[in-house]
Amino acid sequence: MRTFTKLLATAALATGIAGAAAADGHDPFNVGFVYIGTPGDYGWTYEHDQGRLAVEEHFGDAVETSFIENVPEGPDAERVMTQMILNGADMIFTTSFGYGEATNAVAGQFPDVVFEHATGYLREHPNVSTYSARFYEGRAVIGHIAGQMTESNIVGYIASYPIPEVIRGINSAYLHAREVNPDVEFRVVWVYTWFDPAVEGDAAQALIDAGADVIMQHTDSTAPQAVAEEAGILSFGQASDMIQFAPAPRIASIIDDWAPYYIRRVGEAMEGTWEQSDTWEGMPEGMVVIGEMTETIPEEIRASAQGMIDAISAGEYHPFTGPINRQDGTAWLAEGEVADDGTLAGMDFYIEGITGEIPN
């Protein structure tokens, strides 16, 4: 798969199918996007590409965008970014956590180019910003739904990599499932990939074989939903609405809406007002959205889930509000205490009630 994706990226650069910048790189303003998957995943990369298209629509002829898909994390990403710049890119969005080191390495070589790295934390040069969404807010809502929809009391969770973003999501979903169903159990399978339909499908099947009747995922393909549909169980859309899988098995979705952020930051770069920042937005800002809740969900559960959405969006409720203990039973948050962003950003522990260990 690595060889295949490498060949795809190389071929895209050679043939120019991702689009080439204007010769001077300034007229129009050229923005490049580096994708870990393909816009056809109907998930993570699809939503980033919707943001790219929104930039084109908003700025018209003043902006030209390009993208390279299926770019592996590592040296390949450096080569792709460098070639984009040589083709005239003024600004580059790298849209996967594992691009962090490559983004900063290239940024150090091209100080006049602006870089934005999704879900990362490295900002080693003044021309690098990071941005992410508070996905855990959405996972609180789908956990609330899942805890009430499961009949076996086993919820399966397909996890990509053991990084804080993913661990936060598992904890948030479990916390809110347990709140409405004290008997609920989460079974987590780590697949060590963001996008691999075969691996994701196998993980979903393994969870179903273990008794899960609701599937969640922090991976990018629709393969788990296809497996869930075959088994006649429920699942949630990931990163995009995946409405084509409604009403079964998808009962709701977490949608990542990057468009407003992309439009804002491209505009600032064009105006010369762009500054380095670390952005972390969620439901209040519209970066995290819950897609249509289908009628498969009983009306009273839909109503309570909407109440949670409204409370989070209004800033009246934080998904990590105590009392909450760590997995070993030691206190983490006291009654009414809200988790600070620093702890959430570096979260490397499960909360009480989740079984199993977080792998290295």
- Residues 177, 184 contacting (CB under 8 angstroms): yes
- Residues 76, 283 contacting (CB under 8 angstroms): no
C-alpha dihedral, 119 to 240 to 158 to 162, nearest 10°: 0
pLDDT at 6: 35
pLDDT at 246: 74
pLDDT at 2: 32
pLDDT tens track for 46-61: 999 999 999 999 999 9
pLDDT tens track for 214-255: 999 999 899 999 999 999 999 999 998 888 777 788 899 999
Could you list the pLDDT tens digit for every one of the 360 residues in the chain? Answer: 333 333 333 333 333 323 333 334 458 999 999 999 999 888 899 999 999 999 999 999 999 999 999 999 989 999 999 999 999 999 999 999 999 999 999 999 999 999 999 999 999 999 999 999 999 999 999 999 999 999 999 999 999 999 999 999 999 999 999 999 999 999 999 999 999 999 999 999 999 999 999 999 999 899 999 999 999 999 999 998 888 777 788 899 999 999 999 999 999 999 999 999 999 999 999 999 999 999 999 999 999 999 999 999 999 999 999 999 999 999 999 999 999 999 999 999 999 999 999 998
Residue 84 CA to residue 18 CA, distance in Å, equals: 10
| Nearest of 42, 16, 35 to residue 243 by alpha carbon | 42
Residue 168 CA to residue 163 CA, distance in Å, equals: 9
- Residues 170, 350 contacting (CB under 8 angstroms): yes
Neighbours of 16 (CB within 10 A): 10
Q: Angle formed by the axes of helices 299-313 and 135-149, to 10°?
A: 160
Q: Angle formed by the axes of helices 75-86 and 100-109, to 10°?
A: 40
With tokens 């522990």, the residue in question is 349
pLDDT at 26: 52
- Partnered with residue 250 across adjacent β-strands are 235
Residue 111 CA to residue 130 CA, distance in Å, equals: 16
- Partnered with residue 157 across adjacent β-strands are 188, 216
Alpha-helical (H) ranges within the chain are 2-15, 44-59, 75-86, 100-109, 135-149, 164-180, 197-209, 223-231, 259-271, 299-313, 341-345
Strands 331-333 and 154-159: unpaired
